[in-house]
Amino acid sequence: MFSTSRRKEMAEEQEEFRKKFDEYGFYGENNPPVDMVNHPPHYNSTIECIDAMSAMTENAVVSPHAAYCWQAAFKYVWRWPYKGKSVQDIDKAIWYLTRLKEEIK
């Protein structure tokens, strides 16, 4: 396995990595910090998706479950080009639209 000195060296390297990660986050010191809760990079529009969803459902007369399916589908369609999982996001939108279709039959 590893010598005692090498294990100590590896532990120090790991601790240094943890410190840098805590300070700079996943993207590293050359990139600005990313706020994954309030402003994730895949929500990169001047209009927030949640505000658009609120506006589109404001006067809609639909069941709560139908509104949820509608908004979930909308969210996946909104962000599909930005998140790096385009086909998966479109598939999820279709899944929610199928549920919505069943809900309103």
User: What are the pLDDT tens digits along the chain (105 aa)?
Assistant: 678 887 788 778 777 766 766 665 555 556 666 777 777 766 666 788 888 899 999 999 999 999 999 999 999 998 888 878 899 999 999 999 999 999 999
Q: What letters, b where the CB count within 10 A reaches 16 and e where it falls short, cover 25-38?
A: eeeeeeeeeeeeee
CA angle 75, 98, 64 (to 5 degrees): 65
- Provide the token pair at 45: 């529009």
What does the alpha-carbon distance between residue 75 and residue 63 come to, in Å, rounded to a whole number? 18
User: What's the predicted TM-score (pTM) here?
Assistant: 0.61
